[in-house]
Amino acid sequence: MKFQPVSRRLKNGELVIIRECQPQDAEEFLQTAKTYIMDSKEFLITEESFNPTIDHEVKYIRTFMESENSLLLIATHNDKILGNLDLRGGQRTKVRHTAVIGMGMLKEWRDIGLGTLLMECVINWARENPVLEILWLQVFASNVAGISLYKKIGFEISGRQTNFIKIQDDIYTDNITMDLKVK
């Protein structure tokens, strides 16, 4: 096991557990991800284009388990999967010290500290990881909650592509990259 599970009470008083995602979580994890993608405008992937099979998801989970610089965490409440944070380490030699973060959670579990907890868990893990030096992420400029969380946890804006994201016809937003040094 790469990550020792963490349990914590959120601002709503509920106890959640953060643990590494396992192949047997694939089906429910997929369902949770589909639901939160449907309930958010802040992802590059759209609901219609997100259709992995359970087999594909099992393989996806295994790639994190087998990669030294990657980690896939899920948050659970009474064994129900609420959301996840994925840390995907670079596989080429010149970027193995970097890892990109993606995250999301069910709408009713947002804004009560779960994102902060997932981030704290992964940053602590990355600090102990022998390879990783830089964590980074991409976020839409319109994602106020996301940017607010990332800044609070220590990420700094490292780049901005103006009007790079086309949300819908004639509506654009900037693509922002943010970095955090862990060593």
Q: Report the interface residues with ligand COA, using CB under 6 A.
A: 36, 40, 42, 103-105, 110-116, 137, 139, 143-146, 148-149, 152
Q: Which is nearer to ligand COA, 14 or 111 (CB)?
A: 111
* Pairwise CA distance, residues 162 & 68, whole Å: 34
Q: Which is nearer to ligand COA, 62 or 138 (CB)?
A: 138
Q: Which is nearer to ligand COA, 74 or 139 (CB)?
A: 139
Q: To which H or E segment does residue 47 belong?
A: none
In the complex, minimum distance from the CB of residue 119 to ligand COA, in angstroms, rounded to a whole number: 8
**Taking a C-beta distance cutoff of 8 angstroms, is the pair 173, 140 a contact?**
yes
In the complex, minimum distance from the CB of residue 117 to ligand COA, in angstroms, rounded to a whole number: 7
Residue with the shortest CB distance to ligand COA: 115
Burial grade of 119 (CB within 10 A; 0-12, 13-18, 19 or more): buried
Q: Which is nearer to ligand COA, 29 or 36 (CB)?
A: 36
In the complex, minimum distance from the CB of residue 156 to ligand COA, in angstroms, rounded to a whole number: 15
Q: Which is nearer to ligand COA, 131 or 147 (CB)?
A: 147
In the complex, minimum distance from the CB of residue 130 to ligand COA, in angstroms, rounded to a whole number: 27
Strands (E), the chain: 6-9, 15-20, 71-77, 80-89, 98-105, 134-140, 156-168, 171-181
In the complex, minimum distance from the CB of residue 152 to ligand COA, in angstroms, rounded to a whole number: 5
* Pairwise CA distance, residues 12 & 103, whole Å: 20
**Taking a C-beta distance cutoff of 8 angstroms, is the pair 61, 25 a contact?**
yes
